[in-house]
Every structure is written in structure tokens, then in C-alpha cells.
């Protein structure tokens, strides 16, 4: 039974990171209807910037974490400014293909640094002995990661519900023409959406880097697992991303906990999200919380 609870705990940990990664993705989709395929690379960039600032420059990790969020904020904003701003009004298919190109470019840039091929891990700054309650253990990094994740999600939800900028972003996602008519600058909102997606991606990257170590393959795999998560949650719903992230984390942990090693299966945790994704696309394409206005063709 304690094995079961252990899987639940690690599922929630992984799931909350998925939720935070998915958050940035949903932000971009919600405001500009663009699927950002390069999201995993932005997550990885955030993690590597945090590492570089902590270990190579020597800044305390908490400050470095915040600084990398600020840097990715501006990085993502400039990506939007340089590549995507001039594609406003182009068919959405070419915008998505531009993000595929961006993914390749960021891949190349990361391979130019040592991070592309080597593994790094953050210096320990938290107690290394895990907390154990009734046979279920959780490490300090995981606990802190979950706490940061949930506080960031709470912060974002508050931002969208209450602040003026958040409300104007919601307005743009609802109706671009109407929001322009009441004086909201739509390009600015797009830029801001990318910037905030970058910020949340950096946070997610930092947390993943702390828990699993810095490996480029692992980090950018998170950007692809985001797709099953957002489809399950509904592409444009923030609370959907949170719920679906945790569900997906649990499914993954249960799959690798109970299926691996039986019937000659291995690494099922990696593939399960995609199988679920295909099933959802066939039967409930708008996900759990997505709005039902998907155009049937």
C-alpha cells in the first residue's frame, strides 16, 4: 500500500511540474491561437540560465532562479517581436511551422553550449535527507518544487482574474476586434503572453532541473509531454492545464510503477501520455475543461 502512496506522491510532484509547463503553453494559445512547439526548448533555456548564473557566476540560487525568469521573460518577448509579430494575419499553419523552425534554432543554439551534450546538476542547497511519513518519502527539492509550482499557478490565476492587464489579455483571447475597439493593443498583449509563457517556462525548467538534474533531452521532452496535458485539459483552460497535468503525472507514475517489467514492457511512462492523447482526440477532443466551440468539419 505504501508503494501505491509513493506513486501518488511522485505522480503529484511530476504532475504539478507538467501543470506549470502547460501553463505557459496555454497562455500563448489562449491569447494568439498559436501552438508553441518550441516550448520545451524555452523550458530548457530557463533551466540552463539558472544553472549558469548559480554555478558559473556564483549568484545564490534563489536570486538566480528569479533572474533567469526575468531573462526568459525578455527572451520570449523578443522571440515574439522578431519572428511572430510580422506573421500576424498570415494563415495559422505557417505560424505553427515558424514555431517548429524556432524549436530547431533553439536546439542548435543550446547544442552550441556545453549543456547540449553534458549532464549537470545543481549544487545541493536543501537538506538531502528526504521527509518520510508512514513509508512514503518526498525529497526536499520535490516539496519545494511543488510549493513554488502551486504558488505560481495561484499567482497566475489571480493575475488573470483581477489585474487590468490580465483582464485585457482575456479580452483579446475572447475577441480581438472588440478588444481593439476598447483600446487594448493586441500586439502588446501577444508579446506579453509570450513573455509570461517564458517566465513560467523558466520556473518550470528550474524546478525540473532541481529534481531530475540538467539534461537537455529530459528537459525538452517536457515541452512535448505538454501536448497530451493541454489536450486532456482543453487547449485554452488554465485550471484544465492544472488538473490535467496532475492526472497525467499520476497516470505516468502508475504506468511505470505497475506496467514496467511485466509482459516485457519497458518505459511505458514515456509513451502512455501519447496513447491517451490519441484516444482523447478521437473521443473527447475538447478535453475536460475546454470550451465546446471546436469547429466540426
Partner 1 sequence: MSSNRWLATGNYFTSYEEEQRIFSTSLDRSVMCIFLFILFAWPLFLSVGNKYMLVIDNILVAVIAVIGLNLVTGFAGLISIGHAAFVGIGAYTVASFCRVLGDSHIIITHGWPLMIVVAGFMGALFGAIVGLPALRLKHLYLAIATLSFQMIFQWTINFMNFFDQGQTIPVGRVFWVTGKVARKEHYLFWYYVILVVIVILGFGVRNLLRTRYGRCLVAVRDNDRAADAMGMHPGFVKVYAFGLAGFCAGIAGALHAYLYRGVGIDSFTLHHSINYLAMAIVGGLGTLQGAFWGPLAIRVLDLQVERLSEWTGSHLTAATNLTTALRPLSFGLVIVLFLMFEPRGIANWWRIFRSYVKLWPFRY
Stretch that binds partner 1, among 48-56, 132-140, 153-161, 271-279 (CB under 8 A): 271-279
CA distances from 136 to 10, 11, 257 (A): 10, 13, 15
Determine, following the binding rule CB under 8 A, whether residue 94 of this chain makes contact with partner 1: yes
Closest distance between partner 1 and the C-beta of residue 95, in Å?
9
Spell out the residues 6+ positions from residue 205 whose beta carbon is closer than 8 angstroms to its own: 42, 43, 44, 45, 46, 47, 48, 50, 68, 219
Determine, following the binding rule CB under 8 A, whether residue 247 of this chain makes contact with partner 1: no
Determine, following the binding rule CB under 8 A, whether residue 232 of this chain makes contact with partner 1: no
Q: Which is nearer to partner 1, 162 or 296 (CB)?
A: 296
CB atoms within 10 A of CB 133: 9
Determine, following the binding rule CB under 8 A, whether residue 104 of this chain makes contact with partner 1: yes
Closest distance between partner 1 and the C-beta of residue 291, in Å?
14
Closest distance between partner 1 and the C-beta of residue 282, in Å?
6
| Residues 174-203: x where in contact with partner 1 by CB under 8 A, - otherwise, as a string | ------------------------------
The site for partner 1, by CB under 8 A, has a size of 49
Tell me which residue has cell 512535448: 224
Determine, following the binding rule CB under 8 A, whether residue 264 of this chain makes contact with partner 1: yes
Determine, following the binding rule CB under 8 A, whether residue 27 of this chain makes contact with partner 1: no
Closest distance between partner 1 and the C-beta of residue 264, in Å?
7
HSE-up of residue 82 (Cα within 13 Å, Cβ side): 8
- By CB under 8 A, name the one of 18, 160, 227, 289 that touches partner 1: 227
- Alpha carbon distance 205, 270 (integer Å): 19
Q: Which is nearer to partner 1, 7 or 102 (CB)?
A: 102
Determine, following the binding rule CB under 8 A, whether residue 85 of this chain makes contact with partner 1: no
Determine, following the binding rule CB under 8 A, whether residue 105 of this chain makes contact with partner 1: yes
Determine, following the binding rule CB under 8 A, whether residue 67 of this chain makes contact with partner 1: no
Interaction site with partner 1 (CB under 8 A): 35, 37, 83, 86-87, 90, 92-94, 96-98, 100-109, 111-112, 116-117, 224, 227-228, 231, 235, 264-267, 270-271, 273-275, 277-278, 281-282, 285, 294-297
Amino acid at each position: 500500500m505504501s508503494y501505491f502512496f509513493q506513486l501518488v506522491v511522485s505522480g503529484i510532484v511530476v504532475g504539478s511540474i507538467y501543470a506549470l509547463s502547460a501553463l505557459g503553453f496555454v497562455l500563448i494559445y489562449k491569447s494568439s491561437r498559436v501552438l508553441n512547439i518550441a516550448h520545451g526548448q524555452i523550458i530548457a533555456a530557463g533551466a540552463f540560465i539558472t544553472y549558469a548564473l548559480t554555478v558559473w557566476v556564483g549568484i545564490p540560487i534563489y536570486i538566480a532562479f528569479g533572474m533567469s525568469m526575468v531573462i526568459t521573460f525578455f527572451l520570449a518577448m523578443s522571440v515574439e517581436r522578431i519572428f511572430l509579430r510580422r506573421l500576424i494575419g498570415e494563415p495559422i499553419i505557417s505560424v505553427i511551422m515558424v514555431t517548429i523552425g524556432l524549436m530547431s534554432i533553439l536546439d542548435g543554439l543550446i547544442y552550441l553550449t556545453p549543456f547540449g551534450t553534458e549532464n549537470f546538476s545543481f549544487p545541493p542547497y536543501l537538506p538531502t535527507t528526504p521527509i518520510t511519513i508512514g513509508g512514503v518519502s518526498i525529497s526536499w527539492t520535490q516539496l519545494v518544487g511543488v510549493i513554488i509550482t502551486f504558488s505560481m499557478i495561484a499567482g497566475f490565476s489571480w493575475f488573470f482574474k483581477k489585474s487590468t492587464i490580465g483582464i485585457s489579455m482575456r479580452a483579446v483571447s475572447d475577441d480581438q476586434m472588440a478588444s481593439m475597439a476598447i483600446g487594448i493593443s493586441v500586439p502588446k498583449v501577444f508579446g506579453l503572453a509570450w513573455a509570461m509563457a517564458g517566465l513560467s517556462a523558466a520556473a518550470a525548467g528550474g524546478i525540473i532541473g532541481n529534481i531530475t538534474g540538467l539534461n537537455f533531452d529530459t528537459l525538452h521532452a517536457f515541452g512535448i509531454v505538454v501536448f497530451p496535458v493541454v489536450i486532456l485539459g482543453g487547449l485554452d483552460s488554465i485550471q484544465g492545464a492544472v488538473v490535467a497535468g496532475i492526472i497525467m503525472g499520476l497516470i505516468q507514475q502508475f504506468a511505470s510503477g505497475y506496467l514496467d517489467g511485466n509482459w516485457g514492457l519497458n518505459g511505458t511512462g514515456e509513451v502512455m501520455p501519447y496513447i491517451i492523447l490519441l484516444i482523447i482526440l478521437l473521443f473527447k477532443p475538447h478535453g475536460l475543461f475546454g470550451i465546446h466551440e471546436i469547429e466540426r468539419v
